[in-house]
Chain A
């Protein structure tokens, strides 16, 4: 009880001190912007890092008309447009981060839209750097879709992120012959043309992501997300996109983390959420 009362007193004192602090910062050129929550900033601070700047990268790449409807095998124009758009957006993102003095970008939000004649990619994240400004950047600026919390945990475990790796493949599912289509019309059967197309897209996309990880000298890709399925605007095309953060060991060995078991007493509902006026 006394601990709680003392904590409350301290918090009240902190609030009072904060609200009676001098009205202007000493250094007016030292603004930082970030989309991190205060929890995430504290996480970064615990490993000696800090946010610097909100950064973004965008790209749109065209796909020649007519590639989605007829053909065989991979729709190379679409796969290549997707890869180029992501690469350009990523390059712009890390260029902005480097210009702001960042060593990397964490919590990258990735928005992708695939249209019949173009691919759009937008990346937004927060550039981060070691709080000790004497620490020089040892390698290229990295971009990672890991949250600041996951980034912290990764670093604590002795690993480091190297960059975003992606692989995408769009494949044409061959049309069945007229006789096969008629035969299968009244049967519950697997449409092997679609299954094989999906396998083909999956294998190509995963291979590309892995190749990209190896190019960055990474030992693996974490937090991989995949999106797969038919393309809404092309009845015989399927797509597979894999995306994750390339990592490698930064210390001689992996640092074991022993989690503490907790029994949460929290309500299932979110507490302290200022949405009551919405």
Chain B
């Protein structure tokens, strides 16, 4: 996670320096943190409101076509050339096997990675994250536990608000931190187990990947179940274009997260994939992967075989 210069408001500085702490921890999490020698110093938060457009043609840099949406794209499907792809992004073209061009026939199809959406998302999330971490730093915290994050649309203005919050904690009887604070989605007993297992939290990790699908004729027919009307196409088959897009959007987000681990491990990963249909045959697949980046600081202690129990209550 990148961190930018602090833009903590003056009022927040004053409030944070007043001497009492706030915390988002439950009483049990609070007790577990004290047991670990971590004392809460403040509830820290970061916000970022980002303008959010599904398509940014200026960012595409190539031809038009895939991003045009259903109506116009369908009408001109045979005439336009495929998008060349954003630099460094995945792009794959699919050519009609039927050898015909008409206004209705989708003579080509394309999957492409929407790098500009991934970048916009990362900017919004990282800004909110950095602001939360700056608050923690201002409090002299060693880390932030129990991080929660959300992204919500602000009315219908195409603006998305990123909101991160967590509890800044300080290691009891330790000198002031010399490095940036660490962060984790975990708190309480679960965090204690991470330490006991020989891992130290490094940071939360979250990434998004986005792939747009502009279906070509074969995909369109297979999705509609009409593949068999063409003698060259099977009546039922795997829908390869969508499978390629689904596989890529999952692999891209995992690659992005892996590249941010630098030899550490990702624990408690959560992978979500959503599909949004803008128009017939015009889809966006978005994947999001979150987890805790942890670093091994000692080898596993020997663990006895688990003992089966039967609960009597």
Contacts and interface: CB of A to CB of B under 8 A. Distances in A.
Given A56-B250, A58-B247, A118-B222, A30 B195 contact: no
Nearest to A257: B308
A66 interface: yes
A273 B190 CA distance: 8
B145 A274 contact: yes
Given A36-B268, A122-B273, A11 B186 contact: no
A262 B312 contact: yes
Q: Is the interface of B mostly helix, strand, loop or mixed?
A: mixed
Interface string A46-87: 110000001010111111111100000000010011001100
A8 to B, nearest CB: 6
Interface stretch (B11-19, B20-28, B71-79, B100-108): B20-28
Contact of B258 (A31, A39, A67, A153): A31
B303 A34 contact: no
Interface in B161-201: 165-166, 171-172, 174, 179, 182, 185-190, 192-197, 199-200
Interface residues of B, number: 87
A260 interface: yes
Interface stretch (B82-90, B117-125, B225-233): B225-233
Contacts of A64: 225-228, 235-236
A177 interface: no
Interface residues of A, number: 77
Contact of B225 (A66, A156, A257): A66
Contact of A54 (B143, B223, B271): B271
Contacts of B312: 261-264
Q: Is the interface of A mostly helix, strand, loop or mixed?
A: mixed
Contacts of A180: none
A37 interface: yes
B190 to A, nearest CB: 6
A261 B296 CA distance: 35
B179 A43 contact: no
B266 A34 contact: yes
Nearest to A84: B238
Contact of A92 (B143, B247, B306): B247
20 contacts: A21-B200, A31-B263, A32-B266, A33-B257, A42-B303, A54-B289, A61-B239, A62-B236, A62-B238, A64-B225, A84-B238, A92-B247, A116-B225, A152-B306, A259-B307, A259-B308, A259-B310, A263-B312, A274-B188, A276-B29
Interface of A: 8, 11-12, 14-19, 21, 23-39, 41-43, 45-47, 54, 56, 58-67, 77, 80-81, 84-85, 88, 92, 116-118, 122, 124, 149, 152-153, 156, 257-264, 271-278
